[in-house]
């Protein structure tokens, strides 16, 4: 797959997303290189892997070029050994919007990013309307702190006190 991806990111309130999820997958991802908004990422998920190249985001942080190719799990694990320090470890839950039109990908992070839960929704255009599930909170689309590549270098544990208390999970208290 290649082309432009348009996505919006949100903080998540509570844990209702788990009950609403149609499925989940554990993801470990690393970055072979990153800088100037561009990344080369490798991802291990269940029985397969992915190599992804992303270009810099637009001014709103919503749209960016993405090239992604499925690779074998063995290839992904070998590439993980080449990654920069800091692996992202998370479970991704898939939750349909209330109207059933969109799928929200809700990421629950572990390790130094534990306590952070974010949701993304991919859109066909920047103006496309979508219905939010009740657990969706503040939008963080343009906030670089919430990019996985940034979380790798500056994990949530270092700055978690800067987000509103309503979005911090009990594990942070």
pLDDT of residue 66: 95
Q: 170: pLDDT confidence band, cut at 50, 70 and 90? A: very low
Q: 46: pLDDT confidence band, cut at 50, 70 and 90? A: confident
Query: Residue 31 is encoded by which pair of tokens?
Result: 């970055």
C-alpha 51/C-alpha 34 separation (Å) is 14
Average pLDDT of the segment spanning 48-64: 93
Active-site choice (17, 31, 50, 93): 31
C-alpha 136/C-alpha 171 separation (Å) is 19
For residue 172, is pLDDT > 60? no
C-alpha 130/C-alpha 154 separation (Å) is 31
C-alpha 32/C-alpha 82 separation (Å) is 6
Q: pTM for the full model?
A: 0.90
pLDDT digits (tens, 9 = 90+) for 97-118: 999 999 999 999 999 999 999 9
Q: Does the annotation count 31 as an active-site position?
A: yes
Longest dimension (CA), the chain: 42
Average pLDDT of the segment spanning 11-37: 95
């Amino acid at each position: 797959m290649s082309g432009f991806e348009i996505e919006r990111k949100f903080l998540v309130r509570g844990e209702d997303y788990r009950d609403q999820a149609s499925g989940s997958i554990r993801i470990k991802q690393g970055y072979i290189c990153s800088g100037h908004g561009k990344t080369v990422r490798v991802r291990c998920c269940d029985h397969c892997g992915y190599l992804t190249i992303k270009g810099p985001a637009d001014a709103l942080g919503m749209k960016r070029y993405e090239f992604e190719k499925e690779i074998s799990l063995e290839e992904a694990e070998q590439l993980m050994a080449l990654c920069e320090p800091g692996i992202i470890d998370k479970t991704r839950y898939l939750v349909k919007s209330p109207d059933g039109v969109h799928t929200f990908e809700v990421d629950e992070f572990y390790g130094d990013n534990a306590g952070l839960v974010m949701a993304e929704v991919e859109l066909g255009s920047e103006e496309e309307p979508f219905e939010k599930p009740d657990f969706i909170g503040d939008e963080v689309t343009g906030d670089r702190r919430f990019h996985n590549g940034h979380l790798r270098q500056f994990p949530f544990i270092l700055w978690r006190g800067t987000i509103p208390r309503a979005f911090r999970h009990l594990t942070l208290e």
